[in-house]
């Protein structure tokens, strides 16, 4: 697997740190764009990229605003649209680098929220999208008093961080160790970002019936961060274009859980079917 760093520039001048993983001495079958979750960064998906590149897929990723090596205050963005913009830049980069091969998105948590909104609002020409544990709703409502205090603080200080925003969730001790030792990970989110993503999750649920891009929606039923019930509801409303898979006993981060190879294999099989349909 060959890894290369990339850089994109948003309309407001913010530089987005990206990366590309390419298969060793193989023709590229398809391109996969990773959209990570809150507090993560693209480098935390090296093992996911390795899985796909070993099977002939080129993989692309980026650090969201306020995450990883991308510029910006940690966990903050000026508006929800500024979170969607790098997803579009990601698909453009896949097209530029790989030509007309089938394109997919692979997303997690807040990244799942962005991916669902992106495909619903823009209906891009993707062969398919995968959303794992998407933030449509949280598993539990945020504490009302801290949230109220946060709204008051938001009017005074634009750098307020929503408390208890730590999004980790895996039963694998090695992955948990990596999480704790990773200096680029954080659990911060400002109220304006929290509010924007929450509203977008509710919007996606209301508009699920408009889905036009093939979607694999997955959720662990032991997820205590994002709502598995909300994913079930989205799948029911989306209809035939959505394949829903629930993973008994799995926590929030399906891509880092002890049984992640089974998850990745299932996603790959689904993507291979869509790739063959796109090429036929």
The CATH number assigned to the domain holding 34 equals: 3.40.50.1820
Question: Which of 20-29, 57-66, 119-128 has the weakest average pLDDT?
Answer: 20-29
pLDDT for residue 100: 93
Average pLDDT for residues 56-74, to the nearest whole number? 95
pLDDT for residue 167: 42
Q: pLDDT tens digit string along 108-159?
A: 999 999 999 999 999 999 999 999 999 999 998 665 555 555 555 555 455 5
pLDDT for residue 168: 57
Q: pLDDT tens digit string along 232-257?
A: 999 999 999 999 999 999 999 999 99
- The pLDDT-based confidence of 279 (bands split at 50, 70, 90) is confident
83 has pLDDT over 60: yes
Q: Which residue has the higher pLDDT, 144 or 67?
A: 67
**Average pLDDT score over the chain:** 91
The percent of residues in the chain predicted with pLDDT above 70, rounded, is: 90
pLDDT for residue 163: 43
pLDDT for residue 165: 38
pTM reported for the whole predicted model = 0.93
Domain count, the chain: 1
Residue 20: closest CA among 67, 58, 72, 54 = 58
CB-CB neighbours of 24 under 10 Å = 8
pLDDT for residue 191: 86
With vertex at residue 23, the alpha carbon angle to CA 20 and CA 28, rounded to the nearest 5 degrees, is: 95
pLDDT for residue 209: 98
27 has pLDDT over 90: no
pLDDT for residue 177: 87
State how far the alpha carbon of 279 is from the alpha carbons of 29, 100, 123, 211, in Å.
10, 10, 19, 21
Q: Angle 80-98/110-122 helices, nearest 10 degrees?
A: 80
Residue 180: closest CA among 192, 166, 161, 193 = 166
Domain span at 39: 2-279
User: How many helices (H) and strands (E) are present in the chain, helices listed first?
Assistant: 8, 8
- The pLDDT-based confidence of 187 (bands split at 50, 70, 90) is confident
pLDDT for residue 155: 54
């Amino acid at each position: 697997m060959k890894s290369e760093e990339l850089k994109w520039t948003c309309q407001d001048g913010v530089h987005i740190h990206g990366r590309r993983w390419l298969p060793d001495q193989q023709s590229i079958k398809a391109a996969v764009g990773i959209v990570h979750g809150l507090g993560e960064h693209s480098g935390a998906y090296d093992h996911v990229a390795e899985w796909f590149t070993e099977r002939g897929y080129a993989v692309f990723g980026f650090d969201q605003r306020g995450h990883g090596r991308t510029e910006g205050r940690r966990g903050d963005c000026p508006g929800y649209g500024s979170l969607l913009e790098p997803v579009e830049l990601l698909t453009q980069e896949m097209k530029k680098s790989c030509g007309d091969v089938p394109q997919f998105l692979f997303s997690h948590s807040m990244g799942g929220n962005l991916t669902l909104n992106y495909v619903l609002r823009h209906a891009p020409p993707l062969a398919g999208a995968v959303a794992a544990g998407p933030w449509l709703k949280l598993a539990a409502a945020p504490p009302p008093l801290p949230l109220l205090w946060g709204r008051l603080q938001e009017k005074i200080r634009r750098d307020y961080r929503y408390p208890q925003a730590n999004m980790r969730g895996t039963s694998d001790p090695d992955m948990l160790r990596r999480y704790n030792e990773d200096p680029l990970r954080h659990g911060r989110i400002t109220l304006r970002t929290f509010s924007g993503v929450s509203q977008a999750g509710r919007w996606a649920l209301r508009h699920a019936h408009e889905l036009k891009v093939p979607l694999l929606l997955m959720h662990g039923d032991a997820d205590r961060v994002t709502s598995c019930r909300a994913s079930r509801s989205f799948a029911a409303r989306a209809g035939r274009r959505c394949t829903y898979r629930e993973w008994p006993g799995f926590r929030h981060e399906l891509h880092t859980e002890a049984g992640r190879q089974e998850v990745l294999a299932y996603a790959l099989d689904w993507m291979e079917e869509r790739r063959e349909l796109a090429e036929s």
